[in-house]
Structure 1
Amino acid sequence: MIEPIGLSALWYTLTGICSGLLGAILGLGGGIIVVPVMMILLGVPAHFAVAASLVGVVATSTSSSAGYMKRGLPLVRVGLTLELTTILGAIAGSIAAGFLSENVIHVLFSLLLLYTAWNMWRGRKIREAEDNPDLVKVTPLALGGSAVAGCISGSLGVGGGVVKVPVLNMILGAPMHRSTSTSTFMMGLTAAVGCIAFYMRGELLLSLAAPLVLGVLIRAR
């Protein structure tokens, strides 16, 4: 059982701050940075790292979405509709994570990192689209893609934006600024649902999540 105090809690807070800063610079969600740092550098067991990261994703989404909402950027109707399948995916992913060994989670996360790095190297494909929210209609393909995003989020502790943003932009034709803000809005709902299974298994520790969230909130100020 992990009960970080003193310097350990400080490291988790710094992880939250740095993940937010690097995520903003690289255009990534914080979870994709938090999880490997906690597992590899701080020695946190995989399931506990994923659970804490999901709480961090909720905090990141909440703090970032507040600004987006004031500017009227997220496609709320579209996001909530896509969340119907995203949440199902998050439930499935978080439950499945309980049956995965540490090594399997490490391998899956490594593959996700490689995919993300490859996307950054080749450059993100962007579909130019008219900025008219009324033209964005949810399709079955988008619902399926959102379910995949939810499964990735629930099992690996990330926001799932690596899938959600392309779904919104490439499949539904939402402009990129709408896609990223809507994805951020959705992440909090997805991660909150994903936390439930980890909490029920006793893998969601306040002693890990609290300092991490503190770091996220400090960075957001």
Structure 2
Amino acid sequence: MCKFKKWIWWICGLFLIFLILYSLSFAEVKEATQQVSTSSSLPWWFWPLALFIFTFILGILAVLAGVGGGVLFVPLVSSFFPFHIDFVRGAGLFVALTGALAAGPGLLRQGFADLRLSIPMALIASTCSIIGALIGLKLPSNIVQILLGVTIIFIVIVMAMAKKSEFPEVKEPDALSQALQISGIFYDPSIGKEVEWKIHRTPLGLGLFCLIGIIAGLFGLGAGWANVPVLNLILGAPIKVAVATSKFLLSITDTSAAWVYLNSGAVLPMIVVPGVVGIMLGSVVGVKVLAITKPKIVRWIVILVLGFAGVRALLKGLGIWT
């Protein structure tokens, strides 16, 4: 286990180094860095440092609230930091991607994440996330802010009203899931026995993942907030399988959209590096804090903060709040 963790940290470190070198090759990045530094009277190094501290706190909250780092990163950073929305969305995808890459192998090894369930959903969502990313980079900033605000407010409503079923009842799997052989067995240590599961409503689930992929690429949001309800409540996967598979899905779907932003020069090292490192370190602390904190209280704090960020983004896009 220790060796595995060391390999994860080495992979993430090499990934960040590659990201820095690749991003610095774009002329647009240099111009954008100058724009960021001149948009405030504060020194240029203040904002990366503030972003690291800010994302460190977000990483703790993300674990306690049970949401991905990306869904907190984009609306809050775009609201409180002087960065262009395109760079924030590009960084948000890498924030969500890093967390998924760190967690994915362990979830697969433990048997919670399922490849047969992941692959069809990932193919649909990753293809649509590319479409969403291409659309997002063509839209004017104020339109993106309005759509982001509406989407975040919708996410807040989903998070506030979402119900989870630990072991949904699936009387009979549909023909498509049987053809794809999507089913499995995993050992649940909380009940001390193996759980056999299967899914239904697969065509509906694929259609919803198409929409989820577009939203993820368009706004740079990690789509765990949408993946879990669809996998659990619509398809009928047990909640632990839904959560683990959702986390693994992000490592596939976010990669596609992230490369679009990276290839377009919309990835700034001064935003991505402190954001990714802050989220990762905060998540490590959040796992330890989780044992002594009531997650429900933190969940409602996150809902209120996201609600404020969503309303602010909407008003900012409408020109009411600058």
Deviation digits for residues 57-113 of structure 1, max 9, x if unmatched?
Answer: 111112232442342211122111211100111011000001112112211221222
1:72 lines up with 2:111 in the alignment? yes
Say if 2:243 is the partner of 1:212: no
In the alignment, structure 1 residue 203 sits paired with structure 2 residue 248: no
Q: What whole-Å deviation, never above 9, does each CA across 1:180-216 have from its counterpart, x for those lacking one?
A: 1100110121111101221222111222111111112
SS at the partner of 2:237? coil
C-alpha separation between the residues in 1 aligned to 2:107 and 2:204? 26
Higher deviation after alignment, 11-20 or 162-171: 11-20
Residue 14 to residue 138, structure 1, CA distance change in 2 (3 Å)? farther
Greater C-alpha Rg: 2
Q: Which residue matches 2:299?
A: none
Question: Which amino acid in the other structure matches residue 54 of structure 1?
Answer: L
Letter in 1 for 2:207: G
Give the match for residue 113 of structure 1. Answer: 152
Residue 157 of structure 1 corresponds to 220
Q: Deviations over 1:37-58 (max 9, x none)?
A: 2211111111110000100011
Report what 1:191 is aligned to.
254
Indicate the RMSD between aligned Cα atoms, in angstroms: 2.0
Please tell me the residue identity of whatever aligns with 2:249: M
Q: Unaligned 5+ residue runs, structure 2?
A: 1-31, 38-43, 170-194, 285-322
**1:2 and 2:66 aligned:** no
The alpha carbon displacement at 1:148 in A equals: 0.9
**TM superposition score normalised by structure 2:** 0.64
The 2-side partners of 1:128 and 1:40 are apart by 38
Structure 1 residue runs of 5 or longer lacking an equivalent are none
Q: 1:84 aligns with which of 120, 123, 133?
A: 123
Q: Which residue identity lines up with residue 247 of structure 2 in the other structure?
A: T
Q: Which moved more, 1:177-186 or 1:163-172?
A: 163-172
Q: Could you say what secondary structure the match of 1:132 adopts?
A: strand
Q: 1:13 aligns with which of 37, 52, 55?
A: 52
| Alignment partner, residue 289 of structure 2 | none
2:128 aligned with 1:97: no
**How many angstroms apart in 2 are the aligned matches of 1:201 and 1:24?**
31
Matches within 5 A, 1:44-59: 44-59=83-98
Q: Secondary structure at the match of 2:33?
A: coil
Moved more, 145-154 or 17-26: 17-26
Shift of 1:36: 1.9
From 40, 60, 63, give the equivalent of 2:102.
63
1:24 maps to 63
Give the Cα–Cα distance (whole angstroms) in 1 for the partners of residues 128 and 227 of structure 2.
12
Distance 1:123 1:129 in 2: 15
Q: Distance in 1 between matches of 2:227 and 2:116?
A: 15
String of CA shifts for 1:144-183, please: whole Å, max 9, x gaps: 1111111111111111122211221122210111101100
| Count, aligned residues | 220
Determine if contact 1:75/1:178 at 8 Å carries over to the other structure. Answer: yes
**Other-structure match for 2:77:** 38
Cα deviation, residue 136, structure 1? 3.1
Partner Cα separation in structure 2 for residue 219 and residue 77 of structure 1:
31
